[in-house]
Amino acid sequence: MSDKVVKFGGSSLASAEQFRKVAAIINGDPKRKYVVPSAPGKRFSDDIKVTDMLYKCCELAGSGVDFTDDFQLIKDRYNGIISELGIDMSLDEEFDSITKELKARPSKDFAASRGEYLNGKVLAKYLGFNFVDAADVIVFDTKGSLLLDETVKAVRERLSSLDNAVIPGFYGKTTEGYIKTFSRGGSDVTGSIIANAVRAEIYENWTDVSGFLVADPRIVENPDVIEVITYRELRELAYMGASVLHEDAIFPVRSAGIPINIRNTNRPEDAGTMIVSDDYNFSRESIKHTITGIAGKKGFSTINIEKAMMNNETGFGMKVLQVLFNNGLSFEHMPSGIDTMSITVSSDKLDPVRDKVIAELRKAVAPDHIEIEDGIALLAVVGRRMKNTRGTVARIFASMAHARVNVKMIDQGSSELNVIIGVSENDLPEAIRRIYDMFINSEK
């Protein structure tokens, strides 16, 4: 029997009520043996995450200010959960030693890690599971980069003799013995590493949404959940800003061929989204729609360059890109015509060097005309099935035409995994809604 690794995010463990749901999920499947918790998150929208409270205590400690009151709020969160669940335990000793350490050495990483550490202690006790300190198994080098091989070895050694374990997310220890955290949201990464180490059959990532949505719910009303998405498709959508999972959580499971299942702690009956490898054997039933997701991102500018006979001029593109390089600009897209070239860049990055870039481009390639157009949004239609389906692009542009949206740029990647369209920022919501209608509503 292979095992499942289950990670629960902060909102899934924000209160005693949430702990009960989590325990029911874990107890509902004997394969759910390895549990990775986050620190208690928000219970309501204005609430403060324990991690943020810990950062604050550390900041106060660092400036020599008394942080007793702020730390008391943290104690209250844990003590509230413990007493409401009726668990027979006290974290008083832990609280004291954390306070002492913060006074002596106010390290941000140490402070933040205690949220997961304490929550792991409580959850292990509540479930009757073993507690394994992440500091003993997740290894970082002295610069703070994860040492995956050493970590996998340590996790295997530690877990081999245990039937179950709660391993707190988000942190580990450097080879010099200092506590080190991943970047925010990093418990996702811990879960992925544990799944790799135990060769889990699946990595379940439990959160407060029922998976990835086909489109942004602020734009499309009640969008469908994506049932199955490949790692590559996910990367395309994540680049456009769709976020549920920490970026670094992909690699450890992807390299081991382990699927991730995004699940909702508050709706465990929902199947969620399965993230699978690119060569996954898709069953016929999972093919519901031609496209997988639609995403949009604002804040781009295009530098439009025109010059007669551009196509005959050797090194034209190279000179243009050299100017961008000299100004520290990376480009997102660069479609070109015979006498035109248009380069999409982030407006934020362009702003500080805008005039300089234009002046240098004038000098480098002597264009007939050059201009910058701001207020551009990129819209990505992503889907592994587009490659084998005719007419997809035609349908996308028919949607644009019906919406009277002017298309400014088109880019289809060679992988045919996505079509990227540049539109004016004002047109973005309507464009997304029309594409959603065309591909999701009309295919129902």
Q: Minimum Å distance from CB 131 to ligand ASP? A: 18
- Using the contact rule CB under 6 A, the part of the chain among 180-188, 321-329, 383-391, 405-413 near ligand ASP is 180-188
Closest CB to ligand ASP among 121 and 433?
121
Closest CB to ligand ASP among 189 and 431?
189
Q: Minimum Å distance from CB 281 to ligand ASP? A: 32
Q: Exactly one of 21, 32, 33, 49 binds ligand ASP (CB under 6 A); which one? A: 49
Residue nearest to ligand ASP (CB): 187
Binding mask 51-80 for ligand ASP (x = CB under 6 A): x-----------------------------
Interface with ligand ASP: number of residues (CB under 6 A): 13
Does residue 11 interact with ligand ASP by CB under 6 A? no
Closest CB to ligand ASP among 196 and 205?
205
Q: Minimum Å distance from CB 10 to ligand ASP? A: 5
Residues 154-173 that bind ligand ASP (CB under 6 A): 169-170
Helix (H) or strand (E) holding 232: helix 231-239
Task: Report in angstroms the alpha-carbon separations of 279 from 83, 254, 388.
Answer: 48, 11, 15
Does residue 185 interact with ligand ASP by CB under 6 A? yes
Q: Minimum Å distance from CB 416 to ligand ASP? A: 34
- Using the contact rule CB under 6 A, the part of the chain among 147-155, 179-187, 258-266, 310-318 near ligand ASP is 179-187
Residues 87-126 that bind ligand ASP (CB under 6 A): 115
> For residue 436, which of 120, 220, 182, 181 has the smallest C-alpha distance?
220
Closest CB to ligand ASP among 184 and 362?
184
Closest CB to ligand ASP among 71 and 300?
71
Name the amino acid, one letter, at 64. Answer: G
Q: Minimum Å distance from CB 13 to ligand ASP? A: 9
Q: Exactly one of 11, 187, 273, 392 binds ligand ASP (CB under 6 A); which one? A: 187
Does residue 39 interact with ligand ASP by CB under 6 A? yes
- Using the contact rule CB under 6 A, the part of the chain among 185-193, 197-205, 268-276, 344-352 near ligand ASP is 185-193
Q: Exactly one of 11, 38, 196, 210 binds ligand ASP (CB under 6 A); which one? A: 38
- Using the contact rule CB under 6 A, the part of the chain among 19-27, 149-157, 178-186, 301-309 near ligand ASP is 178-186
Does residue 184 interact with ligand ASP by CB under 6 A? yes
For residue 68, count other CB atoms closer than 10 A to its CB.
9
Q: Minimum Å distance from CB 49 to ligand ASP? A: 5
User: Residue by residue, what is the 3-state secondary structure of the chain?
Assistant: CCCEEEEECHHHHCCHHHHHHHHHHHHCCCCEEEEEECCCCCCCCCCCCHHHHHHHHHHHHHCCCCCHHHHHHHHHHHHHHHHHHCCCCCCHHHHHHHHHHHHHCCCHHHHHHHHHHHHHHHHHHHHCCCECCHHHCCEECCCCCECHHHHHHHHHHHHCCCCCEECCCCEEEECCCCEEECCCCCHHHHHHHHHHHCCCCEEEEEECCCCCECCCCCCCCCCCECCEEEHHHHHHHHHCCCCCCCHHHHHHHHHCCCCEEEEECCCCCCCCEEEECCCCCCCHHHCCCCCCEEEEEEEEEEEEEECCCHHHCCCHHHHHHHHHHHCCCCCCECCECCCEEEEEEEHHHHHHHHHHHHHHHHHHHCCCEEEEEEEEEEEEEECHHHHHCCCHHHHHHHHHHHCCCCCCEEEECCCCCEEEEEEEHHHHHHHHHHHHHHHHHCCC
Strand ranges across the sheet with 179-181 = 139-140, 171-174, 179-181
Counting every residue, how long is the chain? 444
Residue with tokens 């690699």: 251
- Using the contact rule CB under 6 A, the part of the chain among 12-20, 184-192, 196-204, 264-272 near ligand ASP is 184-192
Q: Minimum Å distance from CB 129 to ligand ASP? A: 19
Q: Minimum Å distance from CB 54 to ligand ASP? A: 9
- Contact of 387 with 306, CB cutoff 8 Å: no
Q: Exactly one of 3, 5, 6, 10 binds ligand ASP (CB under 6 A); which one? A: 10
Closest CB to ligand ASP among 51 and 210?
51
- Contact of 438 with 397, CB cutoff 8 Å: no
Closest CB to ligand ASP among 39 and 435?
39
Closest CB to ligand ASP among 8 and 316?
8
Binding site for ligand ASP (CB under 6 A): 10, 38-39, 49, 51, 115, 169-170, 184-188
